[in-house]
Amino acid sequence: MRLCRSFEGAALALLAVAVPCSAQVTFERIRAAEKEPHNWLTYSGDYSGRRHSALKQIDVTNVAKLRPAWMFQMDLSHKFETSPIIVNGVMYVSEPPSNVTALDARTGQPYWRYRRNIPQGVRACCGQVNRGVAVLGDRVFVGTMDAHLVSLDAQTGRVRWDVAVENFLAGYSITAAPLVVKDKVIIGVSGGEFGVIGFLDAYDAATGRRVWRRYSIPGNGMPEQKTWAGEAWGQGSATTWMTGSYDPVLNLIYWGSGNPAPNWNGDERAGDNLYSDCLLAIDADTSGLKWHYQFTPHDVWSWDAAQVPVLVDALFKGKPRKLIVTPNRNGFYYVLDRSNGEFLLAEPFVKQTWAERIDEKGRPVVKADAIPSAAGAKVYPSPEGATNWHSPAFSPATNLLYAAVREAGAVFYKLPASYRLGALFSGGSWHPMPGEEARGAVRALQLEDGKMKWEFPLHSPTWAGLLSTAGGLVFGGTDEGHFFALDAASGKLLWRFPSGGRITANPVTYMVDGKQHVAIASGQSLVVFSLE
Tell me what pLDDT residue 78 has. Answer: 80
Percent of the chain residues past pLDDT 70, beyond the cut:
96
Angle 351-356-360 from CA coordinates, rounded to 5°: 115
Q: What Cα–Cα distance (Å) separates residue 28 from each residue in 85, 136, 145?
A: 17, 10, 30
Asked if residue 145 lies in contact with residue 168, where contact means CB atoms within 8 angstroms, the answer is yes
The DSSP H or E segment spanning 454 is strand 452-458
Where residue 1 falls among pLDDT bands split at 50, 70, 90?
low
Q: Is residue 356 part of a domain?
A: yes
State how many domains the chain has.
Answer: 1
171: left (phi over 0), alpha (psi -120 to 50) or beta: left
Mean pLDDT over each residue of the chain, to the nearest integer: 95
- 16 Cβ contact partners less than 8 Å away, ≥ 6 residues apart: none
pLDDT exceeds cutoff 90 at 453: yes
Return the amino acid letter for 36.
Answer: E
Half-sphere exposure of 77 (CA within 13 A, CB side): 0
Pairwise CA distance, residues 153 & 487, whole Å: 40
What per-residue confidence (pLDDT) applies to 323?
99
DSSP code of 18? Answer: P
The answer to whether residue 59 is domain-embedded is: no
Grade residue 222 by pLDDT with cuts at 50, 70 and 90: confident
pLDDT digits (tens, 9 = 90+) for 355-364: 999 999 999 9
461-504, pLDDT tens digit by residue?
Answer: 999 999 999 999 999 999 999 999 999 999 999 999 999 999 99
Does residue 188 contact residue 273 with C-beta atoms inside 8 Å? no
Q: Which long-range contacts (CB under 8 A, 24 or more apart) does 170-173 make?
A: 170/194, 170/196, 170/421, 170/422, 171/123, 171/195, 171/196, 171/421, 171/422, 171/423, 172/147, 172/196, 173/122, 173/123, 173/124, 173/144, 173/145, 173/146, 173/147
- Residue 192 main-chain phi, psi, to 5 deg: -60, -30
CATH value at residue 314: 2.140.10.10
Is the model's pLDDT at 10 over the cut of 60? Answer: no
**In this predicted structure, what is the pLDDT of residue 11?**
47
Residues 6+ away with beta carbon under 8 Å from 239: 188, 189, 190, 191, 192, 196, 198, 216, 257, 258, 306
Q: In what order do the strands lie in the sheet with 252-256?
A: 245-247, 252-256, 278-283, 289-294
Calculate the dihedral angle through the C-alpha atoms of 149, 155, 157, 160, rounding to the nearest 10 degrees.
Answer: -50
pLDDT value at position 241? 97
23 pLDDT tier (thresholds 50, 70, 90): confident
Tell whether 121 is covered by a domain.
Answer: no
Identify the helix (H) or strand (E) that includes residue 30.
helix 27-31
DSSP 194: G
Give the span between the Cα atoms of 473 and 397, in whole angstroms.
11
pLDDT at 15: 53
pLDDT above 70 (res 417): yes
Encode pLDDT of 105-130 as tens digits. Answer: 999 999 999 999 999 988 888 878 99
pTM: 0.95
Q: Is the pLDDT assigned to residue 7 strictly greater than 60?
A: no
- Domain containing residue 245: 2-50+66-115+127-531
pLDDT at residue 167 tops 70: yes
Residue 42, Cβ neighbours under 10 Å: how many? 30
pLDDT (average), residues 501-518: 98
Tell me whether residue 280 is in a domain: yes
pLDDT digits (tens, 9 = 90+) for 270-325: 999 999 999 999 999 999 999 999 999 999 999 999 999 999 999 999 999 999 99
Average pLDDT over residues 346-356: 99
Q: Is the pLDDT of residue 20 over 60?
A: yes
Return the closest-CA partner of residue 469 out of 24, 70, 81, 62.
Answer: 62
Give domain status of residue 122, yes or no: no
- Determine the Cα–Cα distance for residues 252 and 222; give it in Å rounded to an integer: 22
| Greater pLDDT, 21 or 31 | 31
Tell me, what's the pLDDT at 279?
99
Give the chain's end-to-end CA distance (angstroms, integer). Answer: 10
What number is the average pLDDT over the span 213-240? 92
In a domain, 527, yes or no: yes
Q: Judge whether 269 lies within some domain.
A: yes
Rounded to 5 degrees, what angle do the CA atoms 83, 84, 88 make?
Answer: 150
Average pLDDT over every residue of 265-269: 95
pLDDT at 21 over 80: no
434 found inside a domain: yes
